[in-house]
Amino acid sequence: MTFHIITLFPEAIEEYLHSSILGRAEKKKLIKFNLVNLRKFGLGKHKKVDEKPYGGGAGMVLMSGPILRAVDSIREKFKKKTKIIVFSAKGKQFNQKIAYNWSKKYDDIVLISGRYEGIDERVKNILKAEEISIGHYVLTDGDVAAMVVASAVGRLVPGAIKLESLEEESHWNLLLKKEKDIPEDDGLEYPHYTRPEVLVYKGKKYRVPGVLLSGHHGRIKEWRKQL
């Protein structure tokens, strides 16, 4: 799977994408990152990419032209199954089920990172892109959202992480349910503890729950289910 990330600041996210689990998956050639600098497709001497919004309003809006040219420049790299994403606070809420479905369904995912007041709406319409939000808040840019999606989807590509690790994670059981049947607090992972058995902090002792030290796998499993 290849993640094509269109952004004004590729250097802001490059190090993250090439580190840890994502970096190892990339070295195994399970996933690939193609960072596209939007500034290269700007207009004029100064490579302008934004303009004032029609109808008035605060801030600037990313123009459609540079973004469309950026996408056109990488089209020849796309395989058959490609998904194009535009990040927006008004978009569909991203979740684990979406991440899992994308990891199975697509060969290429294009993540268009917005900035300022957003992106010209015609970009979404022309590219038939899906509008996605990673939460009920507003970010300074879409770069963080692009990293979130790349992390959530990339780690689910077969071989990136052991299947046993995934099956014990938060939200894994939600993959078998329909979205309308998922409570907000359902599918969360149980608490984790490691050494030392007794942690002393500022004179107070914090102990690992006794059941986890019992060696009784049945009781441990039941305890984890109840949380």
* Residue 51 confidence (pLDDT) above 90: yes
Residue 165: per-residue pLDDT? 57
In whole angstroms, give the CA distance from residue 98 to residue 27: 25
Confidence tier at 183 by pLDDT (50, 70, 90): very low
HEC string of 141-191 equals: ECHHHHHHHHHHHHCCCCCCCCHHHHHCCCCHHHHHCCHHHCCCCCCCCCC
Q: Where does 2-164 sit in CATH, by number?
A: 3.40.1280.10
Query: 119, exposed or middle or buried, with CB in 10 Å at 0-12, 13-18, 19+?
Result: buried
User: To which H or E segment does residue 127 belong?
Assistant: helix 121-127
State the CB neighbour count (10 A cutoff) for residue 148: 19
In whole angstroms, give the CA distance from residue 108 to residue 33: 10
Confidence tier at 185 by pLDDT (50, 70, 90): very low
Average pLDDT of 160-183?
Answer: 57
Which one, of 121, 124, 115, 136, lies nearest residue 50 by Cα? 115
Residue 89: per-residue pLDDT? 86
Single pTM value for the model: 0.82
Residue 48: per-residue pLDDT? 95
Instruction: Compute the mean pLDDT over every residue in the chain, rounded to the nearest whole number.
Output: 88
Average pLDDT of 61-83?
Answer: 95
* Residue 210 confidence (pLDDT) above 90: yes
One-letter amino acid for residue 82 of the chain: T
Please say whether the beta carbons of 68 and 123 come within 8 A. Answer: yes
Better-predicted residue by pLDDT, 185 or 187: 187
Please say whether the beta carbons of 2 and 33 come within 8 A. Answer: yes
Q: At what angle do helices 20-27 and 143-154 cross, to 10 degrees?
A: 60
In whole angstroms, give the CA distance from residue 165 to residue 155: 11
Average pLDDT of 130-145?
Answer: 92
Better-predicted residue by pLDDT, 57 or 188: 57
89-132 confidence digits (pLDDT tens): 889 999 999 999 999 999 999 999 988 888 999 999 999 999 99
Residue 174: per-residue pLDDT? 57
Average pLDDT of 7-14?
Answer: 95
Confidence tier at 180 by pLDDT (50, 70, 90): very low
Distances (CA, A) of 40 to 8, 14, 47, 207: 9, 17, 7, 56
* Residue 173 confidence (pLDDT) above 70: no
